Amino acid sequence: MAGSVTFTMIKPDAVSNNHIGAILQKINEAGFTIRAMKYTHLTPESAGKFYAIHKERGFFNDLVSFMSSGPIVAAILEKDNAVADFRDLIGATDPTKAAPGTIRAMFAKSIDANAMHGSDSDENAIIEGNFFFSELERF
Ligand code: CMP
């Protein structure tokens, strides 16, 4: 059975372009409940650790540099079938391929500055949520 939580980050581009409010509204309207949330700023070291799964990819250094370039909003979201439904809501990784009305189609500029992160599996949703939040920070 599909899990009920996913993890997301509103990335530095969307934060600096003042899209936090519009993005949270889209998330709530899509039926997700916020279980934990924080406004924070990744260091290059912490961004590299979070994205360690991509460390052999050619885009890794640019990804780490971008994700530590400014503040982000990290959150754990709850909904039935959360991982798949959230990936539908945010759209394709490359915003030029994202369906109209998705968050990336509306707010992202490029595959690097693509506005949002969304977990790709139930297992990673738990790992990623645990990276940012302690038990005491979840409701
Ligand atoms: P995200 O969902 O946060 O996961 C890894 C990120 O790497 C991805 O979003 C993109 O912003 C970034 N990225 C840059 N180039 C690529 C690529 N060619 N394929 C996948 N992700 C990429």
Q: Per-residue pLDDT for 2 more than 80?
A: no
Mean of per-residue pLDDT scores for the chain:
96
Cα–Cα dist 19/34, whole Å: 17
Write out the two tokens for 135: 């038990």
pLDDT of 139 over the 90 cut: no
Q: Which two tokens stand for residue 28?
A: 């709530």
Whether 54 is catalytic: no
Q: How confident is the model at residue 50 (pLDDT cuts 50, 70, 90)?
A: very high
Mean pLDDT of 64-87: 98
Query: Which of the listed residues 69, 111, 128 should we mutate to test ligand 1's pocket, taking the one with most ligand atoms within 8 A of CB?
Result: 111
In one-letter notation, the amino acid at residue 69 is S
- Fold held by 5-138: Alpha-Beta Plaits (3.30.70)
Average pLDDT over residues 9-22: 98
Sheet containing 116-118: give its strands across: 33-40, 72-78, 5-10, 116-118
- 84 membership: H or E segment, kind and range: helix 82-90
> What is the pTM (predicted TM-score) of this model?
0.96
Give 63 Cα–ligand 1 centroid separation in angstroms. 7
Which mutation among 50, 51, 59 tests ligand 1's pocket best, with the greatest number of atoms within 8 A of CB?
Answer: 59
Range list of H helices, 7-59:
12-16, 20-29, 44-50
Domain residues of the chain, as ranges? 5-138
Residues whose beta carbon lies within 6 Å of some atom of ligand 1: 54, 59, 63, 93, 111-112, 114, 117
Distances (CA, A) of 82 to 9, 30, 41, 52, 107: 15, 11, 25, 23, 21
> 128 pLDDT band (50/70/90 cuts)?
very high
Q: Answer whether 122's CB lies under 8 Å from 83's CB.
A: yes
